[in-house]
Structure 1
Amino acid sequence: MDTGTHVVMGLSLGGLATLDPAVAENSVTATSIMIGTIVGSQIPDIDTVLKLRNNAVYIRNHRGITHSIPAVLLWPLVIVAVVYPFFPEANLLHLWLWTFLAVFLHVFVDIFNSYGTQALRPFSPKWVALGTINTFDPFIFGIHVVGLFIWAFGANPGYTFLVIYGILILYYIYRFIAQRQVLKAVKVLIPDAHDIIIAPTMKMHSWRIAAMNKHQFFVGRSENKQILIQDQFNRVPVPETKVIVEAKKDENLSAFLSFSPVYRWEVDEYDDYYEVRFIDLRYRSNDYYPFVAVVQLDQDYNIITSYTGWIFSEEKLRKKLDIIPN
């Protein structure tokens, strides 16, 4: 989920914790737990600082080890070790329990995004991505904000957020059922399709679709249970040509390939350089595919420049590559 949603979830857990007798009877414990749940709901995303290095490192590692099983166990201990000395009268066990719940919930809800997490490390490096909830879901964010306002106006925070979390459980079930319905509709439309990806958007009844059969890629959208195929591409195996082999040695392209399960590729030759482009088909937006990896090589196959990440116009891509436009 996005940072804002994790923040309001941390606050709501602090409110929910007031149902715990050990918290309700001790204001020091309540304060320390509020700090613990807020920090705990954020700390797995500390790997966002990797963006300062480059996109390749970020793509390879974001929601990786910081969302793993050892990390989920370690983060609460780190937070409690920092917070508890400032609140020595707090109930240490309950501070740890609620902080652990905040960290666990952060990783758990991230699993439902299409980006996913490596939540099963070290037992499996597989990315777990259920793709039922958008990274920013207006309903989830909004209902938390409503709960915080109700709390601010004097309602019991524990019971308020108990009701809200009950609603959210039903919402998650609804989203899962809705996704399965779209999946079934795609299988009817493209009977021989496999590796079908149904990804959420910010709109409740709108889904992105990327699928493939033996010979083609299909890119589309579901709007109010109606399936629209917007693009079709022939599946052409990536050749092991010299330019492709050398381009794959680039860290940006390598990171892209480690992350993207459905993509097409292009190779263009210009007067004094080659350009290799890989295009993720999952994120079509306004007739454009914004998540790409591009590598430019000279005539001797030396890498000149490269880029991977989100880019929404060819002009901006050229600026990122810092080379004269074609």
Structure 2
Amino acid sequence: MDPVTHGVIGLAISAFSGNPVALSNPVSLGCAIGAMAPDIDIIGKMWGDYVYLKHHRGITHSIPVLVGLAAIITGGLSFFYADFSSLQVFFWTFLGCLSHTLFDILNSYGAKLLMPFTKKKSKIGILMLYDPVITVLAFLLIFNKQNTPWFLLLVSSIFILYLGSRWLIKQHLMKFIEIYYSHGYKVVNVEMLPALMAFYKWDFIVNTNSHNIVGQINMMTKKITERKKFKRPDQETIELFEETNIGKYFKDFSTNYHILRANEGDHIVLKSIDLRYFLKNNFMHHATVIYDRERNIRHSFFHPYKIQRRILVSEVE
């Protein structure tokens, strides 16, 4: 989710504190700032997209750092308010920080909440990067003048039911896609992701014994749109790519990618595609490794956001 949406969610969470939702209230302000704070990892862009994407939603989204961010924000706010309860502001600011990571986990990219205990991203993948239902519920909490216990319970119940319904829809569509493709393939795995732009659509990746298939399904009509079908690479191609630094990076970066192999003159060219995000008729993230005929690596590139961008990656340890 974008920082503004995270901030709105933080403001909405502060309604549960019993205090009025207002930026003049340190609890509300702390909760809102805390809900945006984990994206401080954007400073990684100073070293380029390669570094930024490698660390995005990593350590700054983990519990130890969330506690530290909440403490720093609480300390900063204490200078601006005469009537200030440090413990109360810290508690709600930490909840704001935690909400950021939890909502990132609810979308398809995930976050490393339990880092440094595990380097793997946690993700549930049921919400879009911008979710209209969550936004409406947040605005109800922010602008309602009387957030009574019954109203808070009602909004909480709708929120829980909505998440539950999205999870059930995802499970149902995964099964539907698996059955649909099992008629012609041996299905190994199905990954389902909320569509980037359309609330009522879901993207899918089907890994079969012979192909990797990428498409989208309309959850209302069950209409399937197949975007790309790739023949699965052989094991030698996979090993060639994954032994490189960019290959290790890409394997950690993407949960589902495909490798294309081509001979271009005296070179072997491996092109990896992150199959998760398809926008403007192309995939968002790519990587390229160029070998000579003796299997020496000549060049490695990372292509973030679009294939035309090239970031040279060193293969020297």
Give the deviation of 1:107 after TM superposition: 1.1
Is the Cα contact below 8 Å between 2:242 and 2:248 reproduced in 1? no
Unaligned runs of at least 5 residues, structure 1: 312-316
Is the Cα contact below 8 Å between 2:233 and 2:260 reproduced in 1? no
Residues 288 and 240 (structure 1), Cα distance of their counterparts in 2 relative to 1, 3 Å cut: closer
Is the Cα contact below 8 Å between 1:266 and 1:277 reproduced in 2? yes
Secondary structure class of the residue paired with 1:128: coil
Which position in structure 2 is the counterpart of 1:276? 270
Secondary structure class of the residue paired with 1:42: helix
Residues 126 and 196 (structure 1), Cα distance of their counterparts in 2 relative to 1, 3 Å cut: same
Structure 2 CA distance for aligned equivalents of residues 123 and 244 of structure 1: 28
Secondary structure class of the residue paired with 1:217: strand
Which position in structure 1 is the counterpart of 2:252? 258
2:45 counterpart (51, 61, 65): 51
Structure 1 CA distance for aligned equivalents of residues 4 and 76 of structure 2: 23
Residues 225 and 127 (structure 1), Cα distance of their counterparts in 2 relative to 1, 3 Å cut: farther
Is the Cα contact below 8 Å between 2:30 and 2:92 reproduced in 1? yes
Pair 1:121-2:115 in alignment: yes
Give the deviation of 1:282 after TM superposition: 2.0
Pair 1:172-2:169 in alignment: no
Is the Cα contact below 8 Å between 2:291 and 2:299 reproduced in 1? yes
Which position in structure 2 is the counterpart of 1:239? 236
Residues 175 and 245 (structure 1), Cα distance of their counterparts in 2 relative to 1, 3 Å cut: closer
Query: What are the within-5 Å matches in structure 2 for residues 206-245 of structure 1?
Result: 206-223=201-218, 224-228=220-224, 230=226, 231-239=228-236, 244=241
Is the Cα contact below 8 Å between 2:112 and 2:119 reproduced in 1? yes
Pair 1:71-2:65 in alignment: yes
Structure 1 CA distance for aligned equivalents of residues 168 and 179 of structure 2: 17
Query: Please, what TM-score do these two structures have when normalized by structure 2?
Result: 0.82
Give the deviation of 1:135 after TM superposition: 1.4
Residues 299 and 74 (structure 1), Cα distance of their counterparts in 2 relative to 1, 3 Å cut: same
Is the Cα contact below 8 Å between 2:237 and 2:259 reproduced in 1? no
Structure 1 CA distance for aligned equivalents of residues 239 and 27 of structure 2: 58
Unaligned runs of at least 5 residues, structure 2: 313-317
Question: Which of structures 1 and 2 has the larger relative contact order (alpha carbons within 8 angstroms, sep 6+)?
Answer: 1
1:190 counterpart (181, 192, 215): 181
Which position in structure 2 is the counterpart of 1:7? 7
Structure 1 CA distance for aligned equivalents of residues 161 and 25 of structure 2: 30
Which position in structure 1 is the counterpart of 2:315? none
Structure 2 CA distance for aligned equivalents of residues 117 and 257 of structure 1: 16
Structure 2 CA distance for aligned equivalents of residues 295 and 199 of structure 1: 28
Is the Cα contact below 8 Å between 1:43 and 1:103 reproduced in 2? yes
The aligned amino acid for 1:219 is V
Structure 2 CA distance for aligned equivalents of residues 290 and 319 of structure 1: 11
Is the Cα contact below 8 Å between 2:50 and 2:311 reproduced in 1? no
Secondary structure class of the residue paired with 2:282: coil
Which position in structure 1 is the counterpart of 2:304? 309
Aligned length: 303
Which position in structure 2 is the counterpart of 1:156? 146
Secondary structure class of the residue paired with 1:86: coil
Which position in structure 2 is the counterpart of 1:41? 35
Structure 2 CA distance for aligned equivalents of residues 309 and 157 of structure 1: 44
Which position in structure 1 is the counterpart of 2:245? 249
The aligned amino acid for 2:27 is I
Structure 2 CA distance for aligned equivalents of residues 242 and 90 of structure 1: 58
Is the Cα contact below 8 Å between 1:112 and 1:133 reproduced in 2? yes
The aligned amino acid for 2:47 is R
